[in-house]
Amino acid sequence: METTIIWDEFSESLKRFILSRVNNHDVANDLLQDVFIKIHLNVHKIKKQESIKSWIYTITVNVINDYFKKQSKQQNLLNNTIVFEKETPKEHTAKDCIIPLINHLPPTYKEAMLLSEVNGLKQVEVAKILNISLSGAKSRIQRGRNLLKEGFIACCDYKLNESGYLVGEHKDKKDCKVCSTNT
């Protein structure tokens, strides 16, 4: 099948599909072009005409996931830059420790925690961006939260109460074991 025939048949529906995911016409147009470049370069690999629609949508989903991964990495860099560009607050709070503690997590958990806890994405969105199952995303976020809790205990001498919540008095920045090393 020729790329022009595929374009005529699928371009409008693919654009709507992409637009429903990214909510930006310019980005949707760019991603649509990326999809058709991949289609054009690989159309000779398709063996069954009946499976072309699912093949095209698989390419489209992969292009969208790649876009969100790239955006996530750029956002993580931006978040870290913003943290260091801010004026040092007069009072050091527990919120000031979150980014440094997350940055000390293993990469698997760090990525999931930045997306969910810092960027506020839902677990389903985290799973799509990281290209993992929903249960995998939930597991990484839960383990990341437990590691973050351990980080607060180690860095800031917090304790767990009977209900399992962190309690304690927050230290000055100079006394934090993690935050003081990230100035």
Tell me the C-alpha distance between 45 and 119, whole Å: 39
Is residue 178 very low, low, confident or very high in pLDDT (cuts 50, 70, 90)? low
- pLDDT value at residue 134: 93
Strands 166-167 and 159-160: antiparallel
Tell me the C-alpha distance between 148 and 157, whole Å: 13
- pLDDT value at residue 85: 45
Instruction: Measure the CA dihedral 12/62/69/130, to 10°.
Output: 130
**CA dist 3 to 14, 58, 94, 119, Å?**
14, 16, 55, 38
Is domain 87-182 given the CATH code 3.40.50.970 in the classification?
no
Phi, psi of 169, deg, nearest 5: -100, 130
Per-residue pLDDT tens over the stretch 7-54: 899 899 999 989 988 888 999 999 999 998 888 888 887 777 767 888
Q: Are 94 and 176 in contact (CB under 8 A)?
A: no
CB atoms within 10 A of CB 118: 16
Q: What percent of the chain clears pLDDT 70, i.e. is strictly above it?
A: 78
pLDDT at 69 over 80: yes
Is domain 3-69 given the CATH code 1.10.12 in the classification?
no
**CA dist 131 to 54, 115, 128, 136, 173, Å?**
18, 13, 5, 10, 37
Tell me the two tokens of residue 135.
Answer: 């249960």
Is residue 77 very low, low, confident or very high in pLDDT (cuts 50, 70, 90)? low
Phi, psi of 133, deg, nearest 5: -70, 160
Tell me the two tokens of residue 131.
Answer: 């290209």
pTM of the model: 0.47
**Which residues partner with 79 through β-bridges?**
none
Q: Write down the domain spans for the chain.
A: 3-69, 87-182
Phi, psi of 151, deg, nearest 5: -65, -40
